[in-house]
Amino acid sequence: MKRGLLGGRVTAIALLLAAVFLAGCAKIPEPDGPDDSLLIGVINLEARGYREKSDMRIDGEHSRNITITFCDVITGKEYKVKTGEAGLFWSNEIPTGNYYLKTLHFELERDNYKYWIRRGFSSATLPVRPGRVTNLGALLWYSDAEKEEERIRQVKTPEQLRNELQRKFPESAWYEREWISIKF
């Protein structure tokens, strides 16, 4: 029996990535002052139906090197954040304001050949507020070139991600702050 995007395989992959995430993610920088804010989340790409090029295979699951572009709703100014281990991303340099997730970009490079996937999205408003943490939870970006399907969905709630981060970094000052949970 073939399982779709919502099948158990994706859930198993998300749980495996979460375990890897908890085992080896880099430490999140601590706040310097009371008005410092943090935008945080996890994103992983599940790519299907892409042709192999120059011995590169893009099909499969990817968590590193995904660039997320956030755009200020009023000024249009863009801020880019790149994922690290297990798809974790964060920025403490995005100014206070309202943003939306504008684009996701994944790129592989080997032997002077680049293969990339870039998709535009218009998400709900993401508020970045002084002294608070904006938490997107864990997201799955599904991209199927053959079926021409693109979607993004939350595979872990912001509360679940916060709890995992708190177990990994129990002494962080970010937990003393208010957390804004974003639902996708």
Q: pTM of this prediction?
A: 0.81
Contact of 164 with 21, CB cutoff 8 Å: yes
Number of domains in the chain: 1
In a domain, 71, yes or no: yes
pLDDT value of position 55: 65
Domain span at residue 57 reads: 8-23+34-181
Q: What is the CATH number of the domain that holds 127?
A: 2.60.40.10
Where are any strands of DSSP class E within 111-144? 113-120, 126-128, 132-144
Please compute Rg for the chain using Cα positions.
17
pLDDT at residue 2 greater than cutoff 70: no
In a domain, 28, yes or no: no
pLDDT tens sequence across 48-68: 988 776 666 788 899 999 999
In a domain, 47, yes or no: yes
**What sign has the CA pseudo-torsion 68, 73, 79, 84?**
negative
Q: How far apart are CA 59 and CA 82, in angstroms?
A: 20
In a domain, 86, yes or no: yes
In a domain, 88, yes or no: yes
In a domain, 2, yes or no: no
